[in-house]
Structure 1
Amino acid sequence: MPEIMIGDGTIQIDASILAQGLGLGPLEVLDLLRCGDITSRCERGIGEDEGRFRLTFFHAQRRLRVIVDGTGRVLQRSSVDFGSQPLPTTLRRPGS
């Protein structure tokens, strides 16, 4: 099974990708997703980026960004740890 599957309006990503990028264990990822402590954003490319998706995941002071093509092939992956500083307000979900 590919790490990222795209189809029928859904995107599925393997928990191991999130775990590695957010500095967590794969089982932790599932629990944190269920309780809403890992949040995400999906953006569809337009213009030059047509056919690509930017998937961004947030947890505590970390951000993981994965850019994939329409088949789910990873084109770019980056992770940022903001250290002791909280995530910038613009990166937080409303109300948190």
Structure 2
Amino acid sequence: RLTETGVEVAAEDLAPLLELDPSDLRRQMRDGAVTTRYEVGQDADAGRFRVTFQSADWRVRFTCASDGTVLKRLRNRRGG
């Protein structure tokens, strides 16, 4: 969901995509082992945003409409 301070994704929804338990996801995010990148669409992609979560093994990217609706989800194993 989109908030005033950025994007919020429930750990219970994201953790399985990164093959982590929600508590491990929260800990790894605090420790910097799981990182997040937020991008705002430009030109043809104006009104959309993209958020990417990366762990040691996985990259999960959501492309969303301005209201936070997920338009596309991409999941790739890293380093393989």
TM-score bracket, shorter-length normalisation: 0.7 to 0.9
Identical-residue share of aligned pairs (%): 32
Q: Which has the larger radius of gyration?
A: 1
| Contact 2:64-2:71 within 8 A present in 1 as well | yes
Question: Among residues 15, 31, 34, which one is paired with 1:35 in the alignment?
Answer: 31
Residue 78 (structure 2) pairs with residue 51 (structure 1): no
| Contact 1:64-1:77 within 8 A present in 2 as well | yes
Residue 18 (structure 2) pairs with residue 16 (structure 1): no
User: CA–CA distance in 1 between the matches of 2:39 and 2:30?
Assistant: 21
Question: One-letter code of the match for 1:71?
Answer: D
Following superposition, the deviation at residue 26 of structure 1 comes to 1.3
Q: Secondary structure, in 3 states, of the residue corresponding to 1:13?
A: coil
* TM-score, length-scaled by structure 1: 0.74
Residue 62 (structure 2) pairs with residue 66 (structure 1): yes
Q: Secondary structure, in 3 states, of the residue corresponding to 1:20?
A: helix
Q: Which runs of 5+ in 1 are unaligned?
A: 87-96
> What is the RMSD of the two structures over their aligned residues, measured on CA atoms?
1.5
User: CA–CA distance in 1 between the matches of 2:71 and 2:41?
Assistant: 13
| Contact 1:21-1:78 within 8 A present in 2 as well | no
